[in-house]
Amino acid sequence: MDGARHDFAKSGTRGVEVYTRELVDALLLHGSEHHWAGFSNAWSTHVIPSPSSFVIPSERSESRDLIPIPPLPIVTRRLPNKLLNLSLLATGHPYLDQWAGDADIWIAPNLNFTSISPRCKLIQVVHDVSFLVDPSWYSLKSRMWHRAIRVQNVLNRADAIVAISQATAADLARYFPKVAHKIKIIYPGTPTAPIVTPEYQQTIRKKYHLPARFFLYVGALEPRKNIPALLDAFAHFTHTTAYPHELILAGPNNSPLPRGERARVRVLGSVSTKTKHALMSLAEALVFPSLYEGFGFPPLEAMSHGTPVIASWSTSLPEVVGDAGLLVSPYKPHEIAHAMRMIADHADLRDDLSRRALAQAKKFTWEKTAKEFLKLCTSR
């Protein structure tokens, strides 16, 4: 069971998957007085997916499969997810806490189809409500899915709602004012980074033919990430300076790049976690002009390497970056370009931002996150 959890936990690189994996590890480490288990539903027996929720089994449970960990036991059911979701939507059954082993507390690390018995405490994590802020950022299929899970009903049922930033908490209170009293802000920690040696850095530099100086973007290439403004900003930077920098984009390409100048711009596509961290450690700066973030792991991950960050002043990013980076308007490419030039021009600024970045990243720890969750678990 431990090997299965390890395999699927290491496979996900999306923000929600990283958050879930790190949260589980932190709860196991700092909440050893509880009995923990993961719940997973999958029709296929070949791939075990990331658990959709994590539970604390009841002290009254007679099941000896759910024993103290590490490792984390996974309670797995084999029902087609579409069929399970349809049942939850139409009938409110099965109660997932009972299906998973008579849990006392259910921690749902993301919004999903959920039905929990009245006796079980539900702690619901919300990363963002971008699907309400601007539905055009999502496909028709995604918009229908968000509507089907009936977010208001899920939040009404929740005993506590965890927002991962002040920005997300404010959005929740704005769109769902009736549940505002349940909202608790609990910041994530800095994601655990693999060890990146100088030898591995050189391997990545050679593999991707990286120049000595480059700007980096990490994340999905999708509308709310504001890639057109980033490309316009870099074009302005190349036209107004003599610097040889390239712009490297690393992440899944969920939508076609806009037309326009592409000089010295390269798209690497999806990369491994270790490669991502190597790129971050080599970059002159991470540029992250997103229009909307519930939190924003890439700036925090880059700062953990001492890499300067240029980020939007919008939504949660000022909370993450603080005074350790350059905050810019995501709607003004020339302002993003000016920040690029400031970093390219001034070695002393790069050194100062690097020191600030390392200190800022240390403020976000999973130990703090776990302890706040454990308080929620034991509060009435």
Give CA 115 to chain center in angstroms. Answer: 24
Residues 6 or more apart whose Cβ sits within 8 Å of residue 343: 284, 285, 308, 310, 326, 349, 350, 353
Give the Cα separation of 291 and 224 in Å (integer): 5
Residues 6+ apart with CB under 8 A from 312: 226, 288, 289, 290, 291, 293, 327, 328, 329, 330
Q: What is the dihedral of CA 256, 257, 262, 267, to 10 degrees?
A: -80
The pLDDT value recorded for residue 74 is 83
Q: Given this model, what pLDDT does residue 101 score?
A: 84
Q: Is the dihedral of CA 167, 109, 299, 371 positive or negative?
A: positive
Cβ burial 200-238 (10 Å sphere, 16+ → b, else e): bbeebbeebebeeebbbbbbbbbbbbbbebbbbbbbbbb
* Degrees to nearest 5, angle at CA 310 with 309 and 314: 120
Query: What SS3 state is found at 80?
Result: coil
**pLDDT score of 255:** 66
- Quick one: DSSP state of residue 297? H
pLDDT value at residue 23: 94
Residue 10 pLDDT: 35
The confidence score (pLDDT) of residue 77 equals 87
Count of Cβ atoms closer than 10 Å to residue 270 Cβ: 12
- The DSSP result for 186-237, as a single string, is ----PPPPPP--HHHHHHHHHHTT--SSEEEEES--SGGG-HHHHHHHHHHH
Token digits for 317? 């990013």
**What residues contact residue 121 under an 8 Å CB cut-off, 6+ apart?**
104, 105, 106, 159, 160, 377
Instruction: Note the pLDDT of residue 44.
Output: 60
Domains by residue range for the chain, with CATH = 2-189+365-378 (3.40.50), 198-361 (3.40.50.2000)
For 49, half-sphere exposure in the C-beta direction (CA atoms, 13 angstrom radius) is 14
Token pair in block for residue 122: 């539900």
- pLDDT on residue 253: 79
Alpha-carbon distance 70 to 272, whole Å? 26
Burial class (CB in 10 A: 0-12, 13-18, 19+), 191: buried
Cβ neighbours of residue 288 under 8 Å, at least 6 residues apart? 217, 218, 219, 296, 298, 299, 309, 310, 311, 312, 317
Tell me, what's the pLDDT at 259? 66
The stretches in the chain having pLDDT less than 50 are: 1-11, 46-69
pLDDT digits (tens, 9 = 90+) for 259-298: 666 789 999 999 999 999 999 999 999 999 999 999 999 9
Task: Please check whether residue 179 is in contact with residue 202, taking contact to mean a CB–CB distance below 8 angstroms.
Answer: no
The confidence score (pLDDT) of residue 331 equals 97
Let me know: does 162 contact 125? Beta carbons within 8 Å: yes
